[in-house]
Amino acid sequence: MATVTVDRMAVEVDGQGDPVLMIHGLGGTSNTFAPQCAGLASRYRLVRPDLPGSGRSATPEGALSIGRFVAAMAKVCQVLGIERAHVVGHSLGTIVAQHLAVEHPGLVRSLTLFGPLMAPADAGRQGLRDRAAKARGEGMQPIADAIVQAALSSDSKAHQPVTVAFVRESLMRQCPEGYAKTCEALAAAEAADPARIRARTVLVAGDEDAVAPASVARTIAERMNGAASLRVLPRCGHWQPLERAADCTAILGEALQGRG
């Protein structure tokens, strides 16, 4: 594994083979997909950026936006010489991935979207702006504690203490200003048109996901006119790659081989 820097973004690169660009969500980092790497790095070149403002990547001047994230992902691919990639997203990363597929269709070979979102509802937009203010005023601890309670399944909280600790620490280690700007970017997000996505797509939802309910994934699938397949994982909340790591690794492996 190597860490490279692209426009002040930390990017983990691991393995050899067809490239897979993996885009984390709000409060995540490249490590969101760490459980999937062990089983896939022997066959694929896994590229895992920390989005601008998240993890070890610098928080840029000015506002963040979905458009800025899409441009950042395209730049990562350009710098690393990637002309065509499988694209994987989680949560916010699924919005970025969908826009990437619409704006750069030749770049995106397939999509695998965990906890897929289109755009926040109006009430959710204000909640994200309030959360940005909380991050700036109170830091990350109250946000981390609230998300662990709200975004993980009851089964995960009862039986997966390592997953609970991982999610909490991922949030606790975020730069409050970078997290706040990312909240504001998500609050302003507009949905990509699923009907314009030509890449083969697999959608993965959790049956206890209160952030991106399975109904959202079904809507995306319907708007793709049957061009997407949907999997709903039992006893799973919003952090699917961590809560149901083995299932997600298997689903992703099948999707990368065109069998999803």
Q: What percent of the chain has pLDDT over 90?
A: 95
Residue 157 inside a domain? The answer is no
Sort 41 into a burial class: Cβ within 10 Å, 0-12 / 13-18 / 19+: middle
Residue 131 inside a domain? The answer is no
Q: Give CA–CA dist 14/19, Å, rounded.
A: 10
Residue 24 inside a domain? The answer is yes
* Residue range 178-221, pLDDT digits in tens: 999 999 999 999 999 999 999 999 999 999 999 999 999 999 99
Sort 68 into a burial class: Cβ within 10 Å, 0-12 / 13-18 / 19+: middle
- Ordered DSSP codes for the chain: -EEEEETTEEEEEE-SSEEEEEE--TT--GGGGHHHHHHHTTTEEEEEEPPTTSTTSPPPSS---HHHHHHHHHHHHHHTT-SSEEEEEETHHHHHHHHHHHH-TTTEEEEEEES--S---HHHHHHHHHHHHHHHHH-SHHHHHHHHHHHS-HHHHHH-HHHHHHHHHHHHTS-HHHHHHHHHHHHT-----GGG--SEEEEEEETT-SSS-HHHHHHHHHHTTT-EEEEEETT--S-HHHHTHHHHHHHHHHHHTT--
* Residue range 34-71, pLDDT digits in tens: 999 988 999 999 999 999 999 999 999 999 999 999 99
pTM: 0.97
* Residue range 4-32, pLDDT digits in tens: 999 999 999 999 999 999 999 999 999 99
Residue 179 inside a domain? The answer is no
Identify the CATH number of the domain in which residue 18 sits.
3.40.50.1820
What is the span of the domain harbouring residue 227? 2-120+189-256
pLDDT at 234 over 70: yes
Residue 126 inside a domain? The answer is no
Number of separate domains in the chain: 1
Residue 241 inside a domain? The answer is yes
Residue 145 inside a domain? The answer is no
Residue 182 inside a domain? The answer is no
